[in-house]
Structure 1
Amino acid sequence: MARTKTVYACTECGAQSPKWQGQCPGCGQWNTLVESVAEPAAGSRFAALAAGSGKVQKLSDIAPQESPRQPSGIEELDRVLGGGLVPGMVVLIGGDPGIGKSTLLLQALATLSARVPTLYVTGEESGEQVALRAHRLQLDAGNLPLLAEISLEKILATLREGKPSVAVIDSIQTMYSEVLQSAPGSVAQVRECAAQLTRHAKSNNCAMVLVGHVTKDGALAGPRVLEHIVDTVLYFEGDTHSSFRLVRAIKNRFGAVNELGVFAMTDKGLRGVSNPSALFLSQHAQPVPGSCVLVTQEGTRPLLVEIQALVDTSHGNPRRLSVGLEQNRLAMLLAVLHRHAGIVCSDQDVFINAVGGVKISEPAADLAVSLAIVSSLNGRALPRKLVVFGEVGLAGEIRPAPRGQERLKEAAKLGFELAIIPTANAPKQKIAGMEVVAVDRIEQALTALRELQQR
């Protein structure tokens, strides 16, 4: 009996190696090579030389067309997608097990099935399990077609026959193609199944949603080329022990990148949160030291997030811990405060937290983090109804943040009356009910803060 030939494929880039190596020869990542079955070459390597050339068009001869969007019926999901589903759009959604991916998509398809042809393909659950979930969520999904199948060829045949406008594949890791010998979930199978489904979606104007597993590091399982094939990549964030879920757009060819949708998990499924800023603001009876409200920008949505800092005397090596914010940036801000403002924290433990489990990556949070640290160190609370944003440079300057006017208007709408912002973001026209203090340097920000605290 002939022995099956195996190769080692990289889970990041898909490159293959005849033997295991610690480092991938293609992308240079470490410990990403996994054993899989070697697939035979398809066709002749010189077949492309005999093929005819493709049709070349001038860009000016192509008339751009705006495709109408299909709302999913879930406002927060439509916000993340950029307004709804586009015909031929391929969406990849990933997240931890049990966080709510299948629940959200079943809710969306139950609403869409009343308006357009749809198809729900499940490879992880039986039809009875999906029906039980729909009954538990009290969904009107009587018209929703369901296919429990993992064979790619059978799924494509069903798609060609039914011609749905929206299809969900749950999940891409369970699908397999009979053309390949490797097991479902392998690099070759995931890449081939995703490519075939994407080709069908583009040629038939079918909006397709692929559910992807994530690794224990939080990345999508399978090759990273999977993220390059699809049009939109969505990630579920949040703790499974919490009732709140965040859906973030990492890539979107039809909308804003880094857009954020906020959901609450209830007994009837995921429900959109109309005022997400309320989730990220702690309701203190009295102002407390170390608490500062930041106006951050998530895609097109301004969000108010409470930044909490705790500075305490160190009993050994000082610790620097940051939750929801970049830890290396915290060390940089402490150095800037020491050099340009005389704030010494070398013998203090510093802990930073973004309330509500949100992750903030933009540098506009620098000024809020700095003022929260100073407030905790001095034991003096910041003024009530104060919001802050601005990037802090290594020279101590306060750099502007994008969309400053939208941030201020959102804060004023929620009842905030004071703001410390970069001078470049100062509004040309006064915002009703809000006093704006514009600063150029970190020293000026601390001086302005002391003046406000003395009122």
Structure 2
Amino acid sequence: MSKIKKKFICQECGYESARWMGKCPECEKWNTFVEEFYTSKSSINEIKTSTSNIAITLEDVIIEEEKRFSTGMRELDRVLGGGVVPGSLILIGGDPGIGKSTILLQISNQMAKENLKVLYVSGEESVKQIKLRADRLKVYEQGLYILSETNMFVIEKVIEQIKPNVLMIDSVQTMYHSDLSSAPGSVGQVREITARLMPIAKEKGIATFLVGHVTKQGAIAGPRVLEHMVDTVLYFEGERHQTYRILRAVKNRFGSTNEIGMFEMRDRGLEEVKNPSEMLLSGRPIDSPGTIAIPCIEGTRPILIELQALVSYTNFGMPRRMATGIDYNRVILLIAIIEKRLGMQLQNQDAYVNIIGGLKVDEPSVDLGVILAIASSFKNIPIDPGMVALGEVGLTGEVRSVQFIEKRIMEAQKMGFKKCIIPKSNLKGLKKTEEIEVIGVSTVYEALRYTF
């Protein structure tokens, strides 16, 4: 017989306790425990003997070649590892208004074109509101079913009735299970909804997409176990006032987590950016000091970014430092290297560093480009617009080697650049080409000498 029990759950980290506590011992947050009721059923008589309950050796497991189907967007397929695996759970997170619901409706339409039955469940919009957004995005496919519902029992019945190939849940924080007394979006509800969706997806082979809201810190709202339960976690990055979006995989059981997809938000939804380097370098000033192009690697794809720096005299006793798209502490470290190793006095100068396009770059290969851009703005001398520079810089001013040097040089060559400054240690084994001049440097002073 069912028994109603209660427990206290921390709304920050999901820690469970039999009694209320003022401070969570796990995340050390205050006043985060909420009382939740749940129904426990005796499961002794409910266990059924099946092949899934029997332990077998690994050699006896027979699997066929992994089948995937396309989402209709090559950028998204690349991030997923080649397409969607049937029966997988995919969690998509991002800031409000970043485009999560838009991309779900778009790929639902694309997969419906491939004769796949898609069920789109929204707990945030009515059916008429979904229809208005679908008209704006030119979504008209017959195989796309929409449902406005938040009750998990009703959703399960609709799934049994329609038997879709793909299920969209927008969003998991709006869904609730009637066995729990807590409000939708609470730790218990999010965990219970995901736990019920998992066997549905695995047993019936339904590819399930979940939209997850994020907190102020940028993490998926709800318990951390949510990210552990799903197969793939995707994050949308980008500023709301910027038109470009980066889709990045932070967890993927069926592919690499190093791939990214780039999209542009337009009036008809998200469109793929086929040549990110050309897009990011469009509108680049030619003869302005403080700007330089840097070849970066995002996953397996080389991308050319534009980095800009501005150095100006400060009117305050403490100079101001700002960094957008790059680690602030790294910029402070590089400014110290400029002062110590190059002799440029920046104690009375404000310094601003910005990555164009709303991208966030965290690889150390941009170090040399940051130093040259700051030096260019400080000296008020423009850098050759046909030159790119890359390399990690150490505290003693040495330029260290970077990975995937050939991919970076080929991307710069494809975009029409004529000169490339790289670490001297990367010259070993590098194939020479007549279309682009490759210069190896060992120190930042040597790089500055070749630049100006």
Q: TM-score, normalised by structure 1?
A: 0.90
Matched, 1:344 2:370: no
Task: Letter of the 1:158 partner, please give it.
Answer: V
- 1:370-449 map, 5 Å: 370-426=371-427, 428-449=430-451
In structure 2, what is the equivalent of residue 34 of structure 1? Answer: 32
Matches within 5 A, 1:18-29: 18-22=19-23, 24-26=24-26, 28=27
> 1:40/1:208 Cα in 2 relative to 1: closer, same or farther (>3 Å)?
closer
Contact kept in structure 2, 1:88 and 1:208, CA below 8 Å: yes
Indicate yes or no: 2:79 matched with 1:80.
yes
Partners of 1:249 and 1:5 lie apart in 2 by 37
Gaps of 5+ in 1: none
Deviation at 1:335, TM superposition (A): 2.1
- Helix, strand or coil: the match of 2:416? coil
1:221 paired to 2:218: no
Residue-by-residue CA offset, 1:267-309 (whole Å, 9 max, x unaligned): 2221111112233225245321111111111112111111111
Match of 1:233 in 2: 233
- The residue aligned with 1:113 is 112
Residues in 2 aligned to 1:7 and 1:245: alpha-carbon distance in whole angstroms: 39
Q: Partner letter of residue 345 of structure 2?
A: V
> 2: CA distance between counterparts of 1:197 and 1:432?
57
Displacement of 1:187 in angstroms is 0.6
Q: Which amino acid aligns with 2:294?
A: L
* Deviations, residues 409-433 of structure 1 (Å, cap 9, x unaligned): 1111111111111233336211341
- Per the alignment, residue 260 of structure 1 pairs with 260
How much is the aligned-residue C-alpha RMSD, in angstroms?
2.7
CA spacing shift, 1:320–1:207, aligned 2, 3 Å: same
Q: Show the counterpart of 1:210.
A: 210
Distance 1:319 1:187, change over 3 A: same
Letter in 1 for 2:96: P
Counterpart residue type for residue 417 of structure 1: K
1:54 deviates by 5.6
Name the amino acid aligned to 1:86.
V
Between the aligned partners of 1:21 and 1:363, the Cα distance in structure 2 is 43
SS at match of 1:448: helix
CA distance change for structure 1 residues 59 and 402 in 2, over 3 Å: closer, same or farther? farther
Amino acid at match of 1:353: N
Give the conservation status (yes or no) of the 8 Å contact 2:165–2:206.
Answer: yes
Please report how far the alpha carbon of residue 97 of structure 1 lies from its aligned counterpart in structure 2 after TM superposition. Answer: 1.9
- Residue 258 of structure 1, CA deviation: 4.0
**Native 8 Å contact 2:233 2:249 kept in 1:** yes
Alignment of 1:186-205 (within 5 A): 186-205=186-205
Q: Deviations over 1:381-432 (max 9, x none)?
A: 1112111222112233322222221111111111111111123333621134
Does the CA contact (< 8 Å) of 2:120 and 2:145 recur in 1? yes
Cα distance, 1:57 vs. partner? 4.2
One-letter amino acid of the structure 1 residue matched with residue 414 of structure 2: K
Aligned-pair CA distance for 1:41: 6.9
Change (3 A) 1:432 1:209: farther
1:291 corresponds to which letter in structure 2? T
Query: For this pair of structures, how many residues does the alignment match?
Result: 443
- In 2: Cα distance, 1:400 partner to 1:15 partner: 48
Moved more, 80-89 or 36-45: 36-45
Aligned counterparts of 2:298 and 2:245: Cα–Cα separation in 1:
15
Task: Give percent identity, aligned residues only.
Answer: 44
What residue is the counterpart of 2:10 in the other structure?
Answer: 9
**1:160-204 alpha-carbon deviations (Å, 9 max, x no partner):** 343322111011001111221111110100011112212221222
In structure 2, relative to structure 1, the CA distance for the partners of 1:312 and 1:61 (3 Å cut) is: farther
How many Å separate the matches in 1 of 2:61 and 2:379? 63
Gaps of 5+ in 2: none
The 1:135/1:340 distance shift into structure 2, 3 A limit, reads same
Q: Which moved more, 1:384-393 or 1:239-248?
A: 239-248
What is the rounded CA distance, in whole Å, between the counterparts of 2:337 and 2:61 in structure 1?
53
Looking at structure 1, the residues matched to 6 and 199 of structure 2 have their Cα atoms a distance apart, in angstroms, of 29
